[in-house]
A and B are shown apart, each in its own frame.
Chain A
Amino acid sequence: MEEKEGLAYLREHGIDADAGMRYADTCYEFYGQLISIFIEEYQEKRETAEKEAKKEGREYTVLVHGLKNNAKALGAFSLSELAYEHEKASKAGDGIYILEHLEELLTEWKKTVEIFKKINN
């Protein structure tokens, strides 16, 4: 999608595209590159998250911490906030919270990736 259309699509779907652009040096092409990385990494990281969530270890904390940052830098604040809750739970050793809310995180993650895919074809 072209810049105007792409940013409008993101806004319509709950992504703070203005924040995303700000963290991408106000360059739509660069924003697109960062979004591509987010999409490319999704599958592998999702599988790792599913595996590590059950272990209650530091690897899960590092993963959701990274997801929180990357999502926020792209303007995907809802996903970033969910990841933050998981990061806090992981640091506190609250495995019950992680497993109970894992599906919620994975669903939001997938939804966000699908939104980004639409503009980054």
Chain B
Amino acid sequence: MKVYICDDSKSDLLRLQRYIQKYAQEENLQIETEEFTTAKEMLMAHNAAKEKPVLLFLDIYMSQIDGMEAAKKLRKAGIKTSILFTTSSGEHAMEAFMVHADGYLQKPYDYEMFCHAMSKVSGQFQREYKTIDVRIDRMNRKFQLKDICFAETDNHGIQIYCMDNVYRTNLSMEGFKEQIGDEPAFVSCGRSFIINLAYVEEIDAEMIYMKNKEMIPIPVRLRKQMKEKYQEYLQNK
């Protein structure tokens, strides 16, 4: 996922880059940063980007267009991307509230303060962009949870089904579960399957029809429960 950093201070850009990469490593997230020293450059890049950022770090006090003005322009254009302002004073608190900023990072900040600010926004994209580490054909590979349709036990490991391919790995179902954590979209269907509810096309009395055209049989004892879990997922989505 993309994160933009906009700050006219080179050292603040460097500091944020470092903190973001450290945080990504700790949280098992794949984050690519793009840096800008003026809000004008950032707005132009945002406008032209195919992959939009999920988070913006915006310095408030910059020459020409300041960070607050840039945030207002983005909101006016209907862009709801998370924004964290970086500033040394709290005087813009009300304006930040008005543009629905997700928080402040008060300069100077250490890594702990950075993590605290990130905790306010990370939950929403952490789920979507979380990755798991899997060994396939003696190579380490990262999968974003959002790309996995379901996993099925297979002899001594599991098969990971994505929309475009199926990957066989020695990772155990228990190991897979452990890496997924408490991600609400992933539910067990018997002992052999863990499915991503985001990829469910339909559920009938006996089967789950996945968007990758695979069908998963529902054990009799779980039929009611699976339907309920799917309904709950749809309601909370």
Q: Which residues of A contact B (CB under 8 A)?
A: 19, 22-26, 30, 33-34, 37-38, 41, 58-59, 61-62, 65-66, 68-70, 72-73
Contacts and interface: CB of A to CB of B under 8 A. Distances in A.
A25 B19 contact: yes
Interface size of B as a range = 10 to 19
Contacts of B62: 62
A80 B19 CA distance: 23
A109 to B, nearest CB: 15
B108 A69 contact: yes
Contacts of B107: 69, 72-73
Interface of B: 8-12, 14-15, 18-19, 22, 61-63, 88, 107-111
6 contacts: A19-B108, A22-B110, A37-B10, A59-B63, A66-B61, A69-B12
B61 A65 contact: yes
B86 to A, nearest CB: 9
A62 B63 contact: yes
A38 B11 contact: yes
Contact of A24 (B10, B15, B22, B63): B15
A22 B114 CA distance: 12
Contacts of B10: 37, 41
Contacts of A72: 88, 107-108
Given A23-B15, A34-B14, A68-B88, A62 B108 contact: no
A65 B8 CA distance: 11
B114 to A, nearest CB: 9
A99 to B, nearest CB: 21
A37 B11 contact: yes
A70 B15 CA distance: 11
A66 B9 contact: yes
B8 A70 contact: no
Max chain A C-beta neighbours (<10 A), residue from B8, B10, B11, B61: B11
Contacts of A58: 63
Contacts of B12: 69-70, 73
Max chain B C-beta neighbours (<10 A), residue from A24, A26, A66: A66
Given A34-B15, A62-B8, 4 more contacts: A22-B110, A30-B18, A66-B8, A70-B12
Contacts of B63: 58-59, 62
Contacts of A22: 110
A25 B108 CA distance: 12
Given A25-B18, A58-B63, A73 B11 contact: yes
B10 to A, nearest CB: 5
Contacts of B9: 66, 69-70
Given A72-B108, A73-B11, A73-B107, A65 B88 contact: yes
A47 to B, nearest CB: 16
Given A30-B18, A33-B14, A73 B108 contact: yes
Contacts of B15: 23-25, 34, 73
A73 to B, nearest CB: 4
A37 B12 CA distance: 10
Contacts of B111: 25-26
A89 to B, nearest CB: 15
Nearest to B66: A62
